[in-house]
Amino acid sequence: MKFLLPSVLTLFLVSDAPAQTPILELDQLVAGQVTTFTVRNCTPGGTVSVAWTRSGLGSSPTPCGNADLNSPLNLLPEVYASQAGVATLTALVPSTAGGVSVWFHALDWSSCQFSNVVEDTVSPPLPDLVPTDLQTSTCTVLVGGDLQIDYTIQNATSIDCPPFSANLYLSTDSVIEPTQDQFLESINLGSLPGNGTHHGNVSVSIPANQATGNYYLGIYVDPTNLILEADEFNNDLLDQACSSLTVENLIVLEAVDSGTVSQNKPDTVCFPLLSGGSTDYVGLGDDIDGYTTGNPWGLMACLARWDTSSPGIPPGASVQSVEGFLPLSNYDVSLLGMTVLIRPITGAWTGSTVTWNSLPPLDNSTQVSIPFGNTGGGLTFDATGFWNYWQSNPNYGLHFIMNNPPPPANACALLRSHLYTANPPALRVYLN
């Protein structure tokens, strides 16, 4: 909250005044602006007058005795005190009064008691900095990621404003508090002419340790109150493009499309040995059913590849964990006792040409074995070790195969490609 620093000198001309002596206070006098007069210790419900003069201290006769002002006296409209004994009056300071010294005196007519005298010099007209627009490039951003922000600041009066600054904040509520909210960026701006407008763009970084969640993005002009303004309560504005800004720590990488697979399907290929024979079945990313009929056992294998070369991890963030996912739409419950063996592929392959008899080489020293099951619509597995493996080895994808014990006869599992599900094969990268 911003408050005007009082430049009014309140003079109590009578020391040790009685408790019920009216006390006059007023806001700073600014040419062309409204000021407020407050008189306390008045008779509840009584009539109160405020007089002013440019002639200084002196003595002027009134029905209640002499006022401590020189004539001529000028009266502001009478007001009535509240039941708490407080009278409030507002008045417009003339726009041409800058630099003029004025003396004020109040009178409680019911008690015929005068207040203290207040003297003030009218300040020249002031600028008024108002943020009028704030737009973000996206409503979702990663921890440690960058956010492009457009902003507009206007000087709402005809008085030139000296150089000033504006700060950007993240807030958990819709009230921007510079001393409490998460600071993002400070924008140092030059002078702004009267009735002028400044448009700007800035790139800000979300802290890498920012907690995930929904926030309000806001701008606060002159957050340290260095500029004396005509209105000190219109300096903040919330993002006009997004009702809230979501900070998240998840990057989802879908399976790669190498361009060699029909209908632009990703390189996710599954094939079984049918009826224990040697016929290869290449799925090309379509619905694949792996099943067994008789002896020997049929086996199902899948190959999937994700592009990890440019995952879009912000410079200030690091990978906490990686979760892999293969969509599964149907399966035989008898397969639940089995496990799936996952190994990194170490050679090139394409979805349109790979067969059971032409599988690329695998790295058997780095493998993960997971229970076969349906979690979130498919096979979910911890891929953090594979992600770390790919930081020092080429990424040719992963190979999945049913592991011991062998699948029961006539068991079936149906996997789905990205063309047949809204939840495609994916790597879910979670950031710190």
Residue 364 CA to residue 344 CA, distance in Å, equals 8
| 336: pLDDT strictly greater than 50 | yes
Residue 341 CA to residue 402 CA, distance in Å, equals 6
pLDDT band at residue 341, thresholds of 50, 70 and 90? Answer: confident
Q: Which two tokens stand for residue 315?
A: 């410079």
Instruction: Give the β-pairing of 140-142 and 245-248.
Output: parallel
Q: Which two tokens stand for residue 255?
A: 């399976």
- Average pLDDT of the segment spanning 366-394: 87
pLDDT band at residue 192, thresholds of 50, 70 and 90? Answer: very high
pLDDT band at residue 220, thresholds of 50, 70 and 90? Answer: very high
pLDDT for residue 130: 98
Q: CB–CB of 172/147 below 8 Å?
A: no
Q: CB–CB of 148/135 below 8 Å?
A: no
Residue type, 26: L
- Average pLDDT of the segment spanning 76-87: 96
Query: Does residue 133 or residue 378 have the better pLDDT?
Result: 133
pLDDT band at residue 87, thresholds of 50, 70 and 90? Answer: very high
* % of the chain surpassing 90 pLDDT: 53
Q: Which range among 13-22, 234-243, 418-427 has the greatest average pLDDT? A: 234-243
pLDDT for residue 373: 78
Least confident of 82-86, 88-92, 314-318: 314-318
DSSP, residue by residue, 19-34 = TTS-EEEEPPPBTTSE
pLDDT for residue 329: 65
pLDDT, averaged across the chain = 81
| 269: pLDDT strictly greater than 80 | no
DSSP, residue by residue, 403-419 = -SSPPPTT-EEEE--GG
CB count in 10 Å sphere of residue 293: 15
Residue 254 CA to residue 422 CA, distance in Å, equals 11
Q: Which two tokens stand for residue 109?
A: 């007519």
- Average pLDDT of the segment spanning 182-202: 97
Domains and their CATH numbers in the chain: 9-121 (2.60.40.1930), 129-248 (2.60.40.10), 253-431 (2.60.120)
| 402: pLDDT strictly greater than 70 | yes
> Running DSSP on this structure, what letter comes out for residue 253?
E
pLDDT for residue 304: 78
Cα–Cα nearest to 163, from 132, 130, 187, 133: 187
pLDDT band at residue 230, thresholds of 50, 70 and 90? Answer: confident
Q: CB–CB of 71/53 below 8 Å?
A: yes
Q: CB–CB of 117/57 below 8 Å?
A: yes
Structure confidence by residue, pLDDT tens digits, 13-63 = 333 334 589 999 999 898 888 999 999 999 999 999 999 999 999 999 999
pLDDT band at residue 98, thresholds of 50, 70 and 90? Answer: confident
| 164: pLDDT strictly greater than 70 | yes
Q: CB–CB of 11/59 below 8 Å?
A: no
CB count in 10 Å sphere of residue 179: 7
- Average pLDDT of the segment spanning 137-155: 94
| 251: pLDDT strictly greater than 90 | no
pLDDT for residue 356: 67
| 107: pLDDT strictly greater than 70 | yes
pLDDT for residue 17: 37
Residue 56 CA to residue 103 CA, distance in Å, equals 6
| CA distances from residue 134 to 276, 331, 347, 363 in whole angstroms, order as listed | 65, 51, 50, 52
Q: Which helix (H) or strand (E) holds 389?
A: helix 384-390
Q: Which two tokens stand for residue 59?
A: 């003595």
CB count in 10 Å sphere of residue 59: 11
Q: Which helix (H) or strand (E) holds 217?
A: strand 213-221
Query: Does residue 252 or residue 85 have the better pLDDT?
Result: 85
- Average pLDDT of the segment spanning 90-107: 93
